[in-house]
Amino acid sequence: MKSWLVCFIPFLLWICCASQNVCEEPPDIDFGEIVSGGDKAEYRTGDRIQYRCYPGYTLEGSEWITCRHKWILPPKWTFPPKCLAPCRITKQQLDAKHLIFPGGRSYSRFIQNGYSLEFLCREGYVLTNSSVGQCVDGHVDLPSCTSAGITTGLEEGCSRPPSIENGDILDMPLTRYISGATVKYKCQRLYIMRGSPVVSCNNGGWTETPVCLEACTVTAEDMNRYHIQMRWTAREKIYAQSGDVLEFSCKQGHEKDPSSPSFRPTCVEGKLQYPRCV
């Protein structure tokens, strides 16, 4: 018994001492600085530090970190944020790739991390990939243009990509595309895309275009007709995307029709099988 206590008491003392430990100095972050809580001589459990990024940089993660215990280990800071760099696109880069901005202009500019820009080719050149470039932590992949006059097999290219119902093409449409060129589609609000958003020009034809699945609209008139109501909301008009599951209940004074369809129907391409109450 005594030997057990001899071993256990130092362990308890170690835990007690560890719980009184302090966190190290809060970590520095690249392209950012501490703006709040960073003026203490020591940092104990529960202390918080706030960061901000330099102008033009985008903060990723929480702006606050906390000095915390992890079970019986000494306290440590939670993960600090990162400051993601903007992208610099120069006129020289655009000229080298025969690119212009919509409107026909070519000039240097900055864009913040996560933002996208659309590009066009100068006259006499055609795009060979997507016309949209996105800034990712200081780097952006610019589209590529190739000379229409020296492209071999241009007669095997594609005409304008097909339009899709309830959807749009993100890229500025061209009159002619070389084999291998791609365009990207998006669906209108509340519509769900089935298939790949990117289609390619392949030996004179486009690969399969996506389909935008219609949303379901539930109105007060629809619910009154079947004596039903939304179970979890009092809204009188509901929009549901294809694949969403809705849940209904009977209006006051009514009960489920024994032959009613499910009270948790699924929206299928704009169609919804309503339950019934009597």
The per-residue pLDDT of the chain, averaged, comes to 84
C-alpha to C-alpha distances, 92 to 89, 120, 132, nearest whole angstrom: 8, 15, 18
Structure tokens at 192: 């769900």
Q: How far apart are CA 102 and CA 2, in angstroms?
A: 84
pLDDT of residue 215: 82
In terms of Cα–Cα distance, which of 38, 42, 69, 67 is closest to 51?
A: 38
Which is more confidently placed, 240 or 20?
Answer: 240
277: amino acid identity, one letter: C
- Mean pLDDT of all residues in 54-67: 92
Q: Decide if pLDDT at 8 tops 80.
A: no
pLDDT above 70 covers what percent of the chain? 89
Query: Mind listing the domains of the chain with CATH numbers?
Result: 20-84 (2.10.70.10), 85-151 (2.10.70.10), 152-213 (2.10.70.10), 214-278 (2.10.70.10)
Contact present, 258 and 235 (Cβ < 8 Å): no
pLDDT in tens, 201-213: 887 888 889 988 8
For residue 2, what pLDDT band results from cuts at 50, 70 and 90? low
Structure tokens at 62: 């929480």
Structure tokens at 2: 């005594």
The verdict on pTM exceeding 0.85 is: no
Contact present, 174 and 145 (Cβ < 8 Å): no
pLDDT in tens, 184-227: 899 988 788 888 888 888 878 888 899 888 888 888 888 898 99
Q: How far apart are CA 186 and CA 164, in angstroms?
A: 9
Contact present, 192 and 213 (Cβ < 8 Å): yes
Which is more confidently placed, 25 or 18?
Answer: 25
Runs of H (alpha helix) within 190-256? 220-225
Contact present, 128 and 144 (Cβ < 8 Å): yes
Residues β-bridged to residue 167:
187
57-87: burial string, b at 16+ Cβ within 10 Å, e else: bbbeeeeebbbeeeeeeebebeebbbbbbbb
pLDDT in tens, 82-112: 999 999 999 999 998 899 988 788 889 989 9
In terms of Cα–Cα distance, which of 174, 195, 176, 177 is closest to 186?
A: 195
253: amino acid identity, one letter: G
Q: Decide if pLDDT at 15 tops 70.
A: no
Q: How far apart are CA 119 and CA 244, in angstroms?
A: 36
Q: What are phi and psi of 116, to 5 degrees?
A: -120, 155
Q: What are phi and psi of 166, to 5 degrees?
A: 65, 25
Contact present, 193 and 243 (Cβ < 8 Å): no
Q: How far apart are CA 54 and CA 57, in angstroms?
A: 6
For residue 151, what pLDDT band results from cuts at 50, 70 and 90? very low
Query: Could you tell me how many helices (H) and strands (E) the chain has, helices first?
Result: 3, 25
